[in-house]
Amino acid sequence: MRNGQPLSSRNPRGTAAALGLLPFAIYVLLFLAVPTLIAIATGFFDKAGSFTLDTVAALGSPVVISTFFNSFWLSSLTAVLGAVLGALACYALLSARPDGSLRIAVDSVSGVLAQFGGVMLAFAFIATIGIQGMVTVWLRDTFGVDIYTNGVWLYEMPGLVLPYIYFQVPLMIITFMPAVQALKPQWAEANATLGGTRASYWFRIAFPVLAPSFFGSLLLLFANAFSSYATAAALSSQGSEIVPLQIRAALTSETLLGRENLAGALALGMIAVMVVVMLSYSALQSRAARWQQ
C-alpha cells in the first residue's frame, strides 16, 4: 500500500496506519467477499464436493428460465411504472422549497416506504385488496365490481405488481430528485431569452439533460425489484414464481428439480443479471454527473 501524502511519509507510521485498515478489510472479506464467492461457487460443485457444470446447466431448464422470465417481467413493469410516477412526483416537488418541511416529510416517507416495507407491505395490501380488503369490499358493495371474479390473484405473481410499485415510486423520488433539483434556472432563462418556448425548454434541454439520470434510476429500480424478497415471501408462502422465491425453495428443500446446490446456480444467475444492470447504471451515472456540479 502506498502512502498518498508527502507530509507524513515516515515509513513506520505509514505501516502502522496501513495496519489500521486491516480490521475493516478482514471484516469485509469474511462477511461480504467470502459469502459472495461461496454463493457463486456452490453452483459449480455437487454434494460430494467435486466440480460439476450440471447445476449451472440447470439454469437452462424450462422451470428456471420461466422463473427468470417472470422476474424480468415483474421488475421491468414495476420499474417503468415506478419511474414514470416517481419522475412526475419529482417534477411536482420542484415548486417546493428544497429545505422546506414538505420536502423533508416526502423524503422521510419515501425512505421508509423504499427501505422499510418488506413484510409490512404484504400486510398493507392484504388489508387493501385482500379478499376482505377495504378497497375490495368497497368496490364490491358500491359498484358491484368483484376484482377476484377470475380467482384470487393477490397471492400470485400479478398480486406483486401493486406492492412493488408501492416501494418503487419512493425509491425513484429518492434517486431521481437530486438530478431534477440540479436543473439550473439559468437554462430556462437562456432558453426564454433566445426565444424558446416552454416545450422547447423541456424537449431540447431538460429531457436530454435528465435522460441519463432517468434511465440510471430506472435500472436501479429494476435491480431493486429483481432482488426484492420480503414482500413476495410474505404474500406467497409456498410459490416460487420469481427467482428469489425459487432460491428460498432451493434452500429449504434440497432436492428441487432433482439437482443439488441449485440455490448456488440461481444465485449465480442473479449476480450475472445484477452485474450487467449495475455496470450500465454506473456508466449512465457518470454521464449524468456532468450536469450535477
CB of 286 to other proteins, least distance (A): 12
Q: Does 27 bind other proteins (CB under 8 A)?
A: yes
The one among 6, 12, 20, 144 contacting other proteins by CB under 8 A:
20
Which residue number, 89 or 212, has a Cβ lying nearer to other proteins? Answer: 89
Piece of 38-46, 58-66, 143-151, 153-161 that binds other proteins (CB under 8 A) = 38-46
CB of 282 to other proteins, least distance (A): 9
Q: Does 59 bind other proteins (CB under 8 A)?
A: no
Of residues 76-115, those binding other proteins (CB under 8 A):
85, 88-89, 91-99, 104-105, 107-109, 111-113, 115
Piece of 49-57, 143-151, 153-161, 227-235 that binds other proteins (CB under 8 A) = 227-235
Q: What is the 3-state secondary structure (H, E, C) of the chain?
A: CCCCCHHHCCHHHHHHHHHHCHHHHHHHHHHHHHHHHHHHHHCCECCCCCECCHHHHHHHCHHHHHHHHHHHHHHHHHHHHHHHHHHHHHHHHCCCCCCCHHHHHHHHHHHHHHHCCCHHHHHHHHHHHCCCCHHHHHHHHHHCCCCCCCCCCCCCCHHHHHHHHHHHHHHHHHHHHHHHHCCCHHHHHHHHHCCCCHHHHHHHHHHHHHHHHHHHHHHHHHHHHHHCCHHHHHHCCCCCCCHHHHHHHHHHCCCHHHCCCHHHHHHHHHHHHHHHHHHHHHHHHHHHHCCCC
CB of 114 to other proteins, least distance (A): 10
Max Cα separation, the chain? 81
Terminal Cα-to-Cα distance of the chain (whole angstroms): 32
Of residues 174-213, those binding other proteins (CB under 8 A):
183, 185, 187-189, 191-193, 195-198, 201-202, 206
Which residue number, 63 or 105, has a Cβ lying nearer to other proteins? Answer: 105
Of residues 114-173, those binding other proteins (CB under 8 A):
115-121, 123-128, 133-135, 166, 169
The one among 244, 256, 259, 284 contacting other proteins by CB under 8 A:
244
Site size toward other proteins, by CB under 8 A: 100
Which residue number, 5 or 149, has a Cβ lying nearer to other proteins? Answer: 5
The one among 77, 80, 182, 234 contacting other proteins by CB under 8 A:
234
